[in-house]
């Protein structure tokens, strides 16, 4: 017993319970619906080589970005054969438990005006078809980016971007998407155009739409993501200057996932420091980033050291970013005390989300232990993790009738039971040992 206790860093704390050291890990956690992704590009008219695709998957990724080009069908509805092909693509990633970021486009070469349909009615028809497909894979599609239109599907250089048209396209997607599928638009100003009803208060309320910024750190404006006018001088439906748009993205990111691509710029790099990079990613509430789009900026991050003290001192900011994309739940404190009068234990645990972003899906935290009858038990401590914001701490407490043995904390996503690992050291099952009840009363 003594050797086991030493191995797990057990120290005595109070009668009958010996608490474990809650050591934070510096590992990148393979948790669902957050982290790095790579793009998998498909032409809707061509059958993918799924065997080859298997070998292209990154072993650590839980996210997959599916870019599906339907430009070949710009003048007609998608045929059943094409819909079945897209369904097979979705199924391939669903069977491997990926959370998918999906962008379906008419163009992936910067030629949207040549590749888009001639009539808006065809765009809406395609969205209806895609929406019905997305409905079938509600548990797989995490984020649906864009509205089909624009160069690379990035909602620029298109004739279908009036406020009225964008509203109709977004409404079609909303009719079909699942409760835990989020939409995303390219710029904050597009978000505001699609939320005219929030203009009066100027505040972001509960919503299902985030931002995908594919120009992160590429320039002062993130390659045109932001404008130059102050919020006071500009209208609700105009782009604002960088600082105010970043603050607006902070509000959006508390309700829906933001992400995108970081871009290297030799000139703008001179304006950046490790501190500013981490500050910007935090303000953007970044949940996901492309690991392969522009590796030059990622190589810089691998060279730059984390600017703070503590556990991450000496690590690269790439390592820090990898660990903090999206949510990262860290157990700060844990105390289990014996209540002699009732012959029960009272557990109190403090957990903080130290990630850049919030948590956007239904999940729960459980306390696992052996009860006083010798039966392994699990009690829900936190039934609703969805909506847990970045930097938010929660105090979780429960009375348990426990017997001898370890007390563990676990977290799982509700829809599929996927393990959500804490930032603390854990076992292979993702359980964090809080301590050992010994029965020495």
| Total domains, the chain | 2
Residue 81 sits in the same domain as residue 226? yes
Residue 278 sits in the same domain as residue 426? no
Q: Residue 338: which CATH number?
A: 2.60.40
Which residues fall within 8 angstroms of residue 213, CB to CB, at 6 or more apart?
Answer: 186, 187, 222, 225, 249, 258, 259, 260, 261, 284
Residue 122 sits in the same domain as residue 84? yes
Residue 205 sits in the same domain as residue 308? yes
Residue-level pLDDT, tens digit, the chain, 441 residues: 344 343 344 444 445 789 999 999 998 899 999 999 999 999 999 999 999 999 999 988 999 999 999 999 999 999 999 999 999 999 999 999 999 999 999 999 999 999 999 999 999 999 999 999 999 999 999 999 999 999 999 999 999 999 999 999 999 999 999 999 999 999 999 999 999 988 878 778 768 999 999 999 999 999 999 999 999 999 999 999 999 999 999 999 999 999 999 999 999 999 999 999 999 999 999 999 999 999 999 999 999 999 999 999 999 999 999 999 999 999 999 999 988 877 889 999 999 999 999 999 999 999 999 988 888 899 999 999 999 999 999 999 999 988 889 999 999 999 999 999 999 999 999 999 999 998 644
pLDDT score of 439 = 66
Residue 203 sits in the same domain as residue 308? yes
CA distances from 266 to 53, 202, 227, 297 (A): 34, 36, 21, 9
Pick from 112, 69, 62: nearest CA to 89:
69
Residue 132 sits in the same domain as residue 250? yes
Residue 350 sits in the same domain as residue 319? no
Task: Answer with the one of 289, 324, 359 that is the final residue of a domain.
Answer: 324
Task: Answer with the one of 285, 306, 324 that is the final residue of a domain.
Answer: 324
Q: Which of helix, strand or coil describes residue 327?
A: coil
Task: Answer with the one of 274, 299, 324 that is the final residue of a domain.
Answer: 324
Q: Residue 278: which CATH number?
A: 3.20.20
Q: ∠ CA 158-82-67 to the nearest 5 degrees? A: 50
Residue 302 sits in the same domain as residue 350? no
pLDDT score of 201 = 81
Beta bridge pairs of residue 259: 212, 288
Which stretches within 46-136 are classed as H helix?
A: 50-54, 80-95, 112-115, 120-136
**Residue that the structure tokens 């638009």 belong to:** 185
Residue 228 sits in the same domain as residue 263? yes
Residue 332 sits in the same domain as residue 404? yes
Residue 161 in contact with residue 118, Cβ under 8 Å? no
pLDDT score of 8 = 40
pLDDT score of 441 = 44
Residue 134 sits in the same domain as residue 277? yes
Q: ∠ CA 430-434-436 to the nearest 5 degrees? A: 120
Residue 385 sits in the same domain as residue 306? no
**Residue 52 belongs to domain spanning:** 35-324
């Amino acid at each position: 017993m003594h050797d086991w206790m030493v191995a797990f860093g057990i120290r005595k704390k109070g009668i009958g319970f010996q608490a474990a050291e809650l050591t934070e890990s510096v590992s990148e956690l393979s948790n669902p619906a957050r982290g790095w992704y790579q793009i998998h590009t498909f032409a809707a008219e061509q059958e993918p080589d799924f065997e080859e695709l298997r070998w292209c998957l990154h072993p650590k990724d839980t996210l997959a970005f599916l870019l599906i080009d339907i430009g070949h069908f710009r003048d007609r509805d998608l045929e059943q054969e094409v819909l079945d092909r897209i369904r097979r693509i979705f199924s391939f990633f669903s069977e491997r438990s990926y959370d998918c970021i999906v962008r379906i486009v008419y163009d992936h070469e910067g030629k949207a005006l040549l590749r888009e349909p001639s009539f808006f009615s065809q765009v809406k028809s395609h969205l209806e078809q895609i929406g019905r497909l997305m409905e079938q894979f509600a548990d797989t599609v995490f984020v649906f980016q864009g509205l089909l239109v624009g160069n690379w599907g990035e909602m620029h250089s298109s004739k279908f971007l009036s406020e009225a048209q964008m509203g109709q396209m977004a409404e079609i997607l909303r009719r079909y998407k699942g409760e835990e599928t989020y939409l995303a638009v390219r710029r904050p100003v597009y978000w505001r155009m699609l939320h005219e009803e929030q203009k009066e208060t100027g505040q972001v309320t509960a919503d299902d739409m985030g931002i995908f910024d594919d120009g992160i750190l590429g320039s002062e404006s993130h390659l045109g993501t932001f404008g130059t006018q102050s919020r006071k001088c500009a209208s609700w439906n105009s782009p604002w200057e960088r600082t105010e748009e970043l603050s607006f993205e902070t509000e959006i990111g508390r309700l829906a996932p933001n992400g995108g691509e970081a871009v290297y710029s030799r000139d703008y790099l001179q304006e950046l420091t490790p501190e500013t990079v981490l500050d910007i990613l935090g303000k953007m509430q970044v949940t996901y980033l492309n690991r392969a789009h522009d590796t030059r900026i990622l190589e810089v991050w691998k060279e730059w050291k984390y600017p703070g003290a503590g556990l991450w001192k000496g690590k690269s900011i790439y390592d820090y970013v990898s660990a903090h994309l999206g949510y990262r739940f860290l157990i700060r404190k844990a105390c289990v005390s014996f209540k002699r009068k009732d012959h029960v234990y009272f557990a109190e645990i403090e957990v903080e989300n130290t990630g850049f972003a919030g948590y956007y899906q239904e999940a729960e935290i459980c306390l696992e232990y052996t009860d006083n009858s010798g039966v392994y038990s699990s009690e829900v401590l936190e039934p609703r993790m969805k909506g847990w914001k970045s930097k938010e701490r929660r105090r979780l407490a429960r009375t348990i009738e426990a017997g001898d043995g370890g007390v563990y904390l676990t977290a799982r996503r509700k829809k599929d039971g996927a393990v959500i690992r804490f930032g603390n050291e854990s076992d292979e099952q993702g359980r964090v040992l809080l301590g050992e009840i010994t029965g020495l009363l």
